Amino acid sequence: MCKGLAALPHSCLERAKEIKIKLGILLQKPDSAVDLVIPYNEKPEKPAKTQKPSLDEALQWRDSLDKLLQNNYGLTSFKSFLKSEFSEENLEFWLACEDYKKIKSPAKMAEKAKKIYEEFIQTEAPKEVNIDHFTKDITMKNLVEPSLSSFDVAQKRIYALMEKDSLPRFVRSEFYQELIK
């Protein structure tokens, strides 16, 4: 690792400077409470340049989270809605699990499993999803020897949560109401 300034490799020295700058910014006293507010984009993300769904297709999303998630426009709209509510971690976890299931290499699988666990499952994770201890314990046991089904129980719980909670809120939102006009 880094020992003494003279022995610092160029990239390590650059990293140290970055950290010093960031700490300096954090330690500055804000002029007002406005400086403490996290910037929030007032305008929601517009769905990706995908074809807008037909009215019939969009109406099916009210009753089927599967159909919503399988449609690029629907998925993007749903993601934008969840971001506007600061609750996108469930969808991000579900999508990470879907990507995880496509991995063929055991080494890459173990690496991705660790990343998903650290980002979404472990206590105090940056994007911790709301799963019960039983589900968390099963998932942790499954990760001793990662397989394509390691996250299945947790993913099913999160899917059920989105279906029961997030989807109805989305259907009542402006995001969806504008789409079906």
pLDDT band at 51 (very low <50, low <70, confident <90, very high): confident
pLDDT of residue 171: 96
* Cα separation, 103 vs 113, whole angstroms: 10
Question: Which pLDDT does position 100 carry in this prediction?
Answer: 97
The CATH fold of domain 55-178 = Regulator of G-protein Signalling 4; domain 2 (1.10.167)
CA dist., res. 175 & res. 79, Å (int): 10
pLDDT tens-digit profile of 95-149? 999 999 999 999 999 999 999 999 999 999 999 999 999 999 999 999 999 999 9
Phi then psi for 149, rounded to 5 degrees? -100, 10
Between residues 167 and 46, the one the model is more confident about: 167
pLDDT interval class at 54 (50, 70, 90): very high
- What does the block give as tokens for 165? 């909670």
Q: Read off the pLDDT of residues 16-30 as tens digits, 9 standing for 90 and up.
A: 666 655 545 444 444
Q: What is the pLDDT, as a whole number, of residue 72?
A: 94
**Domain segments of the chain as ranges:** 55-178
List of residues 6+ apart from 159 with CB closer than 8 A: 65, 94
pLDDT value of residue 12: 58
**Would you call 122 helix, strand, or coil by DSSP?**
coil
pLDDT at 7 over 90: no
Distance CA 157, CA 65 (A): 14
Q: Tell me the average pLDDT across 61-86.
A: 95
* Confidence (pLDDT) at 11: 64
CA distance 28 to 20: 12
Question: Residue 49: pLDDT above 80?
Answer: no
- Cα 120 versus chain centre, distance: 8
